[in-house]
Amino acid sequence: MTMVERVGELPEQLRWGIDVPEPTVPRDRPIVLLGMGGSALAASVGALAARTPIVVHRGYGLPSWAAGSGALVVAVSYSGNTEEVLSGVAEAIAAGLPLAAVTSGGEIAAEAERALFPCLLVPGGLPPRAAIGYQAAAVLRVLGGAGAVNGVSAQIEEAAAVLDELLGEGDGVAYALGGDLAAGLEGRLAVIYGGMGPGSLAAYRWKTQINENAKMPAYSGEVPELNHNELEGWGVLTELANRSMGLVLLRDRFDHPQVARRLELTDEVLAPKVAKVGAVHSLGEGPVARFFSLAVVGDLASILMTDATGVDPMPVELLEDFKVRLRRE
């Protein structure tokens, strides 16, 4: 199955989570979601919908405060073998913290069986970045069980319905818009800006999908933070930026009014300094649906960008080689 076909599976992936029962986990306590790469992205989608504070920990071990807080630790790793996540699981077990996991198998699933903590097994065999629907739905189920997210099934169904609308039967507007933006980014480094919340998280998804699918550098930023630093960085290399970089803006329909205004002004200020490739506007009411409505266009654009370069979006050879080097004694 091609990567474009994998994108078309996203509504089905999300709906898989509607029938998944919520695990029995402690409620009303701090929550730490452990993850790296696409799994951390899925964890962050769950955190978008939370009504309580949640930390997404991308790295080794646990946050320094976790052991003394009684936090619920949720390990999210598609392979089940992510070493950073495994180190956090080991620390959580040593500290006597409650655990849950989202994985397709591997060492984390084995550890869950040994240590008797809940583990939601998602379908395996996909590139991790292509399994975001399964992982996000499972994370939402865990957070629902912890009392951190309300109306999980409704949020999942809304996101799936929005994706149905955008994808159609392979001929929806997301494909056309993704193709247009891919054409606009041909020969350019992509810069994707979004407002805090679903917009900036989707911008980061765009960045990582361009990295892994198109095999190209890409950059993302969040408004309002970038208005206090990064914006100034466009001041000098204007000729280079106009020639070699392309800006995409992600607009969430529920952006804070001042964030929306800042995005408009950012667009105006950067117009003479960098090529504006286009904008994407979110659909849906809930944060999960709005995120996926923005992210799916980037998923498609990142794959369609390979039409101009001839690279295969599926393998991630540099990442795999890096893992081999890391394992060498």
- Strands across the sheet with 189-195, in order? 218-223, 189-195, 245-251, 275-281
Q: What is the pLDDT of residues 181-195, one digit of tens each?
A: 999 999 999 999 999
Could you please report the per-residue DSSP string of 213-270?
A: II---EEEEEETGGGGTGGGGGSS-HHHHHHHEEEEEEE-TT--HHHHHHHHHHHHHH
CA distances 131 to 28, 46, 160, 260, Å, are 29, 14, 14, 31
Q: Residue 259 and residue 250: Cα distance in Å, rounded?
A: 12
Closest CA to 202 of 186, 185, 218, 220: 220
How far apart are the C-alpha atoms of 137 and 222, rounded to whole Å? 25
Question: Is a pLDDT exceeding 70 seen at residue 83?
Answer: yes
Report how far residue 20's alpha carbon sits from residue 140's, in angstroms, rounded to the nearest whole number: 10
Phi, psi of 9 (to 5 degrees): -85, -10
Please write the tens of the pLDDT for every residue from 194-230: 999 999 999 999 999 999 999 999 999 999 999 999 9
Report how far apart the first and last C-alpha atoms of the chain are (Å, whole number): 36
- The percent of residues above 90 in pLDDT, for the chain, comes to 98
| Distance from C-alpha of 201 to C-alpha of 195, rounded to nearest angstrom | 9
pLDDT in tens, 124-158: 999 999 999 999 999 999 999 999 999 999 999 99
Beta bridge partners of 279: 249
Task: Report yes or no: 189 and 216 within 8 Å, Cβ to Cβ.
Answer: yes
* Greatest pairwise CA separation for the chain in angstroms: 59
Global confidence as pTM: 0.97
Residue range 172-309, CATH number: 3.40.50.10490
Residue 307, pLDDT score: 95
Annotated domain spans of the chain: 3-159, 172-309
Q: Do domains 3-159 and 172-309 have the same CATH topology?
A: yes
Give the homologous superfamily in CATH for domain 3-159.
Glucose-6-phosphate isomerase like protein; domain 1 (3.40.50.10490)
Those residues with Cβ within 8 angstroms of residue 97's Cβ, 6 or more apart along the chain or in another chain: 62, 66, 67, 70, 71, 72, 73
Neighbours of 3 (CB within 10 A): 21
Torsion of the alpha carbons at 26, 51, 59 and 13, rounded to the nearest 10: 90
Q: What are phi and psi of 222, to 5 degrees?
A: -120, 130
8 A C-beta contact, residue 177 and residue 183: no
